[in-house]
């Protein structure tokens, strides 16, 4: 019989506080992007990189973190990752310019691996019934931390400075990690000898980062054709190398053989398209809220932007719970179609109706809820359409696809705004926002085409 060590209230509370701080650290950038652009003197597309490099690191670390925890023990790996996150938070808070801030964000991105490690620890130290409740609490606190970060980024930046948006959560992470390291019982390392695909992780991260930096360079203007071609060749070489490694390595970080399964590849394509549209909206709205009120914008500061985005964050959190229920009752395909129709119609409407704040707030709520319900339904539908032993692999692949989609959408939105910027003022023209919303709507509508093409072999109804 397995003997489970008691997880004390203080150590359990420290895990909860850690999840709360990580959620806040992840979300402070979104409402503060216009402020960071002004403070650092960077372009719109460069600003998109600040949030995207964190997502890229998360996409790479997520499949690896669970394997490391199973092999070396969840507590040991969690404390190590949190040391990296803390260093990243301090670097971002003390950054003199964009390069150091981006490096700090890269290091902070390993926070995404904290959730599966927390689940390992909870399962190890609690009974099955209590561990399920505890996992729910950890996820809820991480989501709540995202809302706290969205709402508090502005007041902190305006009362202190933008640096403290990163420093304060980092200090909390350090304190909570120290408590976890001291009080949480050690969990024994597992017996798994499954290899860690470090080469694949590096190649995937390099491919995504090279693509995003290349997009900024090419769309920023002034890049000679030879440089643009060299960037394209570099991205293609990295991507090809990653595919080759994943097909040959014994234990790949992303098992590409899963993509041969109709339910899996159709779910990945749908997830990529839906999250790319969401990523565009995620980036466009703060930029539009911040545009000077003497033109077509609203002149909102960081605090105002955070408050305007908060209803959408709440809707996104609620959608994760609703998506699973809706998929079970109506079928994943019906939920995806409904979410796609709502998202596409909302974005196309915002292309012309974006002169009032309430229009944008309602648009954000609708798209956040629809996208969250759709992607969660896809995850649930895919999990039931494949063998139970493949669930972990499929989940990791969809998580990576979801993160890549959001980052890609945000970077494309930044490129659209940069392409439509006034050469004198650098401010995007109103038509650039209209184009961005319209493109986001058309991208979302592609999901309907994917659903139709895969109706006989994709996600189960």
Does 370 map to a domain? yes
What tens digit of pLDDT does each residue of 411-445 get? Answer: 888 888 888 777 777 778 888 888 999 999 898 88
Are 384 and 280 contained in the same domain? yes
Contact present, 91 and 100 (Cβ < 8 Å): yes
What tens digit of pLDDT does each residue of 309-349 get? Answer: 888 888 877 776 677 677 777 777 788 888 888 888 998 99
For the chain, the C-alpha Rg in angstroms (whole number) is: 21
**How many whole angstroms separate alpha carbon 259 and alpha carbon 5?**
40
Are 244 and 262 contained in the same domain? no
Give 421's strand partners: 428
Are 310 and 208 contained in the same domain? no
Angle at 178 between CA 172 and CA 179, to 5 degrees: 90
Are 136 and 161 contained in the same domain? yes
Are 3 and 84 contained in the same domain? yes
Does 275 map to a domain? yes
DSSP sequence for 339-387? HHHHHHHHHHHHTT--SSHHHHHHHHHHHHHHHHHHHHHHHHHHHHHS-
SS3 140: helix
Are 51 and 110 contained in the same domain? yes
Domain tally, the chain: 3
Does 188 map to a domain? no
Are 37 and 121 contained in the same domain? yes
Are 151 and 77 contained in the same domain? yes
Statement: the pTM of the whole predicted model exceeds 0.85: no
CA 82 to chain centre: 18
* Domain enclosing residue 430, as ranges: 258-461
Query: Among candidates 264, 243, 259, which has minimal Cα distance to 197?
Result: 243
Are 355 and 417 contained in the same domain? yes
Torsion of CA 128, 134, 135, 139, to 10 degrees: 170
For residue 195, give both structure tokens. Answer: 């290899």
Query: Among candidates 377, 374, 309, which has minimal Cα distance to 342?
Result: 374
Give 404's strand partners: none
Q: What is the pLDDT along the chain (461 residues), one digit of tens a residue?
A: 444 445 555 666 677 777 778 778 778 888 888 888 888 888 887 888 887 788 778 777 777 776 777 677 777 788 888 899 899 989 988 988 888 998 898 888 888 777 666 666 666 655 555 555 555 566 666 777 778 888 888 888 888 888 888 888 888 888 888 887 777 766 666 555 566 777 877 887 788 778 777 766 666 555 667 777 787 888 888 888 888 887 887 777 666 776 667 667 777 888 888 888 888 888 888 888 888 767 777 888 888 888 888 888 888 777 766 776 777 777 777 888 888 888 889 989 988 888 888 989 998 899 888 888 887 777 666 655 666 555 556 666 776 777 778 878 888 888 888 887 777 777 788 888 889 999 998 988 887 887 777 665 555 54
Are 237 and 374 contained in the same domain? no
The domain boundary, picked from 150, 182, 214, lies at 182
Are 363 and 285 contained in the same domain? yes
Are 353 and 408 contained in the same domain? yes
Query: Among candidates 172, 185, 182, which has minimal Cα distance to 16?
Result: 172
């Amino acid at each position: 019989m397995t003997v489970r060590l008691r997880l004390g209230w203080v150590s359990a509370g420290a895990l909860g506080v850690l999840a709360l701080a990580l959620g806040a650290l992840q979300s402070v950038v979104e409402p503060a992007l216009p402020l960071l652009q002004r403070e650092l003197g960077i372009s719109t597309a460069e600003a998109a990189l600040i949030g995207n490099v964190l997502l890229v690191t998360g996409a790479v670390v997520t499949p690896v973190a669970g394997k490391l925890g199973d092999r070396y023990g969840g507590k040991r790996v969690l404390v190590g990752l949190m040391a990296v996150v803390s260093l990243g938070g301090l670097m971002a808070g003390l950054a003199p310019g964009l390069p150091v801030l981006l490096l700090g964000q890269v290091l902070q991105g390993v926070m995404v691996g904290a959730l599966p490690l927390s689940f390992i620890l909870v399962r190890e130290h609690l009974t099955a019934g209590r561990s399920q409740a505890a996992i729910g609490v950890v996820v809820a606190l991480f989501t709540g931390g995202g809302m706290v970060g969205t709402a508090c980024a502005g007041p902190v930046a305006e009362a202190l400075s933008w640096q403290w948006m990163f420093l304060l959560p980092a200090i909390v992470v350090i304190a909570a990690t120290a408590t976890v390291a001291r009080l949480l019982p050690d969990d024994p390392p597992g017996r798994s000898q499954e290899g860690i695909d470090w080469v694949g992780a590096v190649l995937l991260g390099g491919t995504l980062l090279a693509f995003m930096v290349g997009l900024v360079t090419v769309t920023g203007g002034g890049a000679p054709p030879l440089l643009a071609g060299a960037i394209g060749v570099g991205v293609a070489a990295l991507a090809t190398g990653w595919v080759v490694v994943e097909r040959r390595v014994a234990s790949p970080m992303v098992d590409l053989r899963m993509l041969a399964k109709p339910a899996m590849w159709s779910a990945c394509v749908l997830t990529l398209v839906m999250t790319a549209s969401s990523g565009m909206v995620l980036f466009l709205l703060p930029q539009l809220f911040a545009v000077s009120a003497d033109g077509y914008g609203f002149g909102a500061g960081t605090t105002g932007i955070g408050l305007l985005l908060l209803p959408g964050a709440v809707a996104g959190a609620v959608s994760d719970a609703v998506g699973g229920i809706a998929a079970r009752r109506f079928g994943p395909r019906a939920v995806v179609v409904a979410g796609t129709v709502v998202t596409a119609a909302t974005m196309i409407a915002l292309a012309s109706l974006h002169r009032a704040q309430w229009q944008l707030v309602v648009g954000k709520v609708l798209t956040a809820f629809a996208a969250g319900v759709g992607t969660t339904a896809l995850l649930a539908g895919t999990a039931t359409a494949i063998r139970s032993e493949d669930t972990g692999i499929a989940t990791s692949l969809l998580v990576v696809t979801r993160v890549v989609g959001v980052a890609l959408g945000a970077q494309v939105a930044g490129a659209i705004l940069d392409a439509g910027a006034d050469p004198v003022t650098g401010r995007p023209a109103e038509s650039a926002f209209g184009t961005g919303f319209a493109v986001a709507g058309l991208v979302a509508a592609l999901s309907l085409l994917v659903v139709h093409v895969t109706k006989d072999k994709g996600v189960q109804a």
